[in-house]
Amino acid sequence: MQNVIRGKAFVFGTNISTDQIYPGQYLDLTDPDKVAEHAMQGADPSFVKEVKPGDIIVAAANFGCGSSREHAAVTLKTVGVGAILADSFGRIFYRNAINLGIPLVVCPGIADMVKQGDTVKIDLTTGDVTNDTTGKGATAQPLSPYVMEILASGGIKPMIKEQYGQ
């Protein structure tokens, strides 16, 4: 796992639901590459054309609220989102994304500190967040040791496979 992640920011507002991250009409898709075609479609239809692997999502409060659909995490993982920083996260989305190995960082005030296209850097071990475009900094809430272990394993599936695989 990379402990320092640096990428271009895509900025979103408050209460971005999993319906906006991945609209319900595509829930019957199961192939991750197909699921990836609709990333953030309900919030910003241009996102999927512009996002590059390693880019970072920055959002205000309650990012990923609503439905439990893991598609929302799968679509962002598959387009290569490097990390997501938000004031807070919907709790099921939080679990889903961490389980897939996407670093999710709670950083109150982050949405006010970053503009679309800024370059943002996050150090997962220290919690230091820097907007490299403006030079402003912030401190994120530390990730729990268990979450760090999941991320270090590349997601929860390899961990469970090693421990319980039949």
Partner 1 sequence: MHAIEKILAKAAGKTTVTTGEIVNCKVDLAGINDLYLQTVRSFFEMGGKKVYDPSKIVMFLDHYAPASTIMQADNQKQFREFCWDQGIDLLMDVDQGVCHQILADKGLVRPGMVLVVTDSHTTTHGAFGAFGTGVGATDCAIIMMTGQLWFRVPEIIRINLEGKLPKGVFAKDVILKVIGMLGADYGVYRGVEFTGPVLKELNISERMALCNMTTEMGAKTAYIQPDEITLAFLKDKVKQDYEIFTTDPGYKYAAEHTFDVSGLKPQVAAPHSVDNVFDVTEYAGKPVNQAFLGTCTGGRVEDIAVAARILKGKHINPRTRFIVVPASKGVFLEAMAKGYIQTLVEAGATFVTPGCAACLGTHQGMLANGETCITASSRNFPGRMGHNKAEIFVASPASVAAAALKGKIVNPADYLE
Residues at the site binding partner 1, with contacts judged by CB under 8 A: 15, 17, 19-20, 23-25, 27-30, 42-43, 61-62, 65-71, 73-74, 88-92, 95-96, 99-100, 144, 146, 156-157, 160-161, 164-166
* Residue 44 CB-half CA count within 13 A: 14
Q: From the CB of 103, what's the least distance to partner 1, in Å? A: 17
Q: How far is the CB of 156 from partner 1 (least distance, A)?
A: 6
The structure tokens listed for 100 are 């897939």
User: Tokens standing for 147?
Assistant: 């979450």
Least gap, CB of 164 to partner 1 (angstroms): 5
Which of 7/92 has CB closer to partner 1?
92
What sign for the dihedral angle of Cα 75, 78, 79, 82?
positive
77 closest CA partner among 165, 157, 163, 149: 157
